[in-house]
Structure 1
């Protein structure tokens, strides 16, 4: 497969030439390895996208915050907690370019944020502000928890749901924009109104960067009442400017690509929206004091993840270029590794490089026989159990016999979603490459694992 460059996985301090190494103020590869030494040894961890990874220094800081609570809970809750959460919210305001700190709330995760927004929409249907049958438009690859929240809050209150099917593999933003326009048109049919559009910034599975700014603009042109951007994977993976994006609500996890420990997410609610009508689904004595305050006190729980934003930013700024430098490095590396794997297996990426965040969808050879979601799940387990490779597998059903083909002429119906984070090295991807090559050599087919 040719020589593989090791530039993104090697420590310049390991150079054995006689030149004196230059001292750098930035974190070294050996220090990165120390920060993530708690990872299970020997596992090719190619799934940062699901749960992220918290460095050791941040874990230590979290323990200090937890100890502060245990040492003097009353002082912590009444004097330290409000101040420190406000500090984190202020830093996030600048990070995402919000106008005011009041627009930023900290919640557990994107699932909680979706419940907050969809509860608000459900009340609008139940109270008659939205008419029965008016529509919510979402992408078919929306996160399952978002779909369940729509079911729990919106459809039972009388709202209808329009699902926009996006093509995959995908070749351009225009394909997404075209299908989204069709979905809005269906939502507005027969005199209905589209009350909410839910747009992913980065779809989870398959993983693709969505032209979110353009879709929000189209929503405004088409009179959509409110726009909610589910950006669970965004902060730390792509650039985020909420004013430029223009949505009413924007959520992003901080424990996926921002190095925070689970679980913490930001929920941005634009001031000009009906943000005063949003409430946390867990009602505390702060109810009615604004979503940010409600979310900052929902009973006795561990708030330490929400307090660590300053420490996480300090960690990020140890890298050359800060958060932008990390994003660029991860994007370039995941594309390079994805193309290496696709070349080795005679397949292709599921989207152009510019539509890949810090993740990439890599086609698997058709002869592996990924022909269902069950096959994908079992292949993932097999790779973990037999080869110590942790990577999500996606089943992509064919539609009208249209899809990408591998070098053998078979349709690609299985894709691996690989991630790249600062702790990854080229050896992780070589291990995955060799595991699949071994399966191919052994004549492996998913039916060997049994099908229900």
Structure 2
């Protein structure tokens, strides 16, 4: 018997996804790990993995048909969806690339050519945040300095109390960059910084750059889509990129690069030169040789997945933000610490201060603690080291960057809380933890065996 149709002819709304269905979608996650680090690699539901595998099979069954008849229309569909999601004017402004680092290479390559063509002068500057993602910082240095340009970093304080602190420091850096008649040719601004994680007031900084005559503005928004609302016309930058595999449920790796329609658009090229060279960046990016394009083709299925949640992707973002702030407050209260930023500067990630008695005194200590939490307690969370300011007494120098995505449960954060409580109770100091792959591998092997485990780092039996 056919299902009754709505009287008005409208398509019936799908039933909201249930907690058990969410668990099933992420049943491939390691159940022994409290995975509160969605920010690094994202996540991909089973239904989207199945869609990706279908695309892979289409290619393997008949590669010529896939190349000539399926690939380009499918990527165009992805571009059209992204255009709508970010409020771009033209689909020609959207290119699909591997990741935000690739997008940065495209923009920086274009900037480098301007130095080589004498459009820019030696000593002209590029400006970026000190918080910028490590790979992008190295990319800026590699491209700009080798072309004869000067790189200026905006040093921001942390913890942060308000956007005004960011705006003040950015204005200072702009004035420094313009000293001695030098021109600032490129600004690289994060929408959401990675470590420490902070929402940056990009619209205000873009306007400041325009007022100060900065030539081009590139927003590195690797964490943005699926995490905060994006309106590229309102933001007003020349270039904007975001990964689709971090917070938008696509498999790695896939990203988009928005390039504001201008005469310069025709001069942008993908770093990998292939058969589509000269046909526009979007076409060049759509084919860079034989490789797996399937992560870039499942955006329609990602849209179907988020539509199963109340409020769609906007509802997911609201709930993730609310929950991560709630969990961050819970952890900070348990440890007697504080958040690194106010809630309105958090996205679906939050920075939580860790007990000072853990003795996090370097980046190496932070990495050792992260490894120890993973291996001995089954908690995956990045740890950020903040150098103390002169005169501080018992400063918080370690912050955990916790994420919240739809698969997380409160038990994940309780496990993290209890792990840190145990470390504090046992008097663990991070400087005494070993830092070596062999240590992690040995403990992993022992933990998988039936043997009792003695944590060699602080001579205390570990509950597993």
Q: Under TM normalisation by the shorter chain, which class is it?
A: over 0.9
Report what 2:195 is aligned to.
205
- TM-score, normalised via structure 2 length: 0.90
Task: Please report the RMSD computed on the Cα atoms of aligned residues, expressed in angstroms.
Answer: 1.2
Q: Any idea what the Cα deviations from partners look like across 1:286-327, whole Å, max 9, x if unmatched?
A: 111110000000000000011111010000100000010000
Moved more, 270-279 or 361-370: 270-279
- Answer yes or no: is the 8 Å Cα contact 2:243–2:255 preserved in 1: yes
Alpha-carbon displacement from aligned partner over 1:198-221 (angstroms, at most 9, x marks no partner):
000000000000000000010000
Q: Give distance in 2, aligned partners of 1:149 and 1:219.
A: 21
How does 1:185-200 map onto structure 2 within 5 Å? 185-200=175-190
Structure 2 residue aligned with 1:386, among 366, 376, 389? 376
Determine the structure 2 residue equivalent to 1:182: 172
Are the equivalent residues in 1 in contact too, given 2:361–2:431 (CA < 8 A)? no
Instruction: Find out whether 1:168 has 2:158 as its counterpart.
Output: yes
Deviation at 1:152, TM superposition (A): 2.0
Q: 2:317 aligns with which of 318, 327, 333?
A: 327
> Is 1:421 matched up with 2:411?
no
Q: Which residue of 2 aligns with 1:214?
A: 204
SS in 1 for 2:66: helix
Offset of 1:151 from its aligned partner?
Answer: 2.2
The runs of 4+ residues in structure 1 deviating greater than 3 Å are none
Q: 2:365 & 2:257 partners in 1: Cα distance?
A: 36
Residue in 1 aligned with 2:396?
412
Alignment of 1:329-408 (within 5 A): 329-402=319-392
Question: CA contact under 8 A between 1:114 and 1:146: conserved in structure 2?
Answer: yes
Provide, for residues 128-165 of structure 1, a one-character-per-residue CA deviation record: whole Å limited to 9, x for no partner: 01011000000001111111211221110100001100
- SS of equivalent to 1:275: helix
Q: Alignment partner for residue 45 of structure 2, among 51, 55, 59?
A: 55
Take 1:71 and 1:450, find their aligned partners in 2: how far apart are those partners?
A: 49
Question: Of 225, 240, 246, which residue of structure 1 is paired with 2:236?
Answer: 246
Deviation of 1:400 (Å): 2.5
Indicate if the aligned counterparts of 1:248 and 1:273 stay in contact, CA closer than 8 A.
no
Count how many residue pairs are aligned between Structure 1 and Structure 2. 424
2:459 equivalent in structure 1? none
The equivalent position to 2:133 in structure 1, one of 125, 130, 143, is 143
Query: Is residue 99 from structure 1 mapped to residue 89 from structure 2 by the alignment?
Result: yes
Any idea what SS the aligned residue of 1:181 has? helix
SS state of the match for residue 274, structure 1?
A: helix
Match of 1:271 in 2: 261
Q: Does 1:262 align with 2:246?
A: no
Deviation string 1:93-128 (CA, Å, 9 cap, x unpaired) is 000000000000000000100000001101111110
Aligned to 1:12: none
The answer to whether 1:438 aligns with 2:422 is: yes
Distance 1:349 1:339 in 2: 7
Q: State yes or no: 1:115 paired with 2:105.
A: yes
> Any stretches of 5+ residues in structure 2 without a counterpart?
1-12, 437-464
CA distance in 2: counterparts of 1:324 and 1:340, whole angstroms: 24
What is the distance in 2 between the residues matched to 1:314 and 1:238?
19
What corresponds to 2:441 in structure 1?
Answer: none
- Report the counterpart of residue 116 of structure 2 in structure 1: 126
Equivalent pair of 2:368/2:435 in contact (CA under 8 Å) = no
1:235 aligns with 2:225: yes
- Within 1, Cα distance between the matches of 2:165 and 2:96? 34
TM-superposed CA distance for 1:273, in Å, is 6.0
TM-score, length of structure 1 as denominator length: 0.92
**Deviation for aligned residue 1:399:** 2.5
Q: What is the CA distance between 1:450 and its match in structure 2?
A: 4.2
Matched-pair contact (CA < 8 Å) for 2:98–2:253: yes
Which deviations, in whole Å up to 9, do the C-alpha atoms of 1:197-254 show, x marking residues without a partner?
A: 0000000000000000000010000000000000000000000000000000000000
Moved more, 273-282 or 423-432: 273-282
Q: Deviations over 1:368-415 (max 9, x none)?
A: 00000000000000000000000000000012335xxxxxx6210000
Listed as ranges, the gaps of 5+ residues in structure 1 are 1-22, 403-408
CA contact (8 A) 2:203 2:234 kept: yes
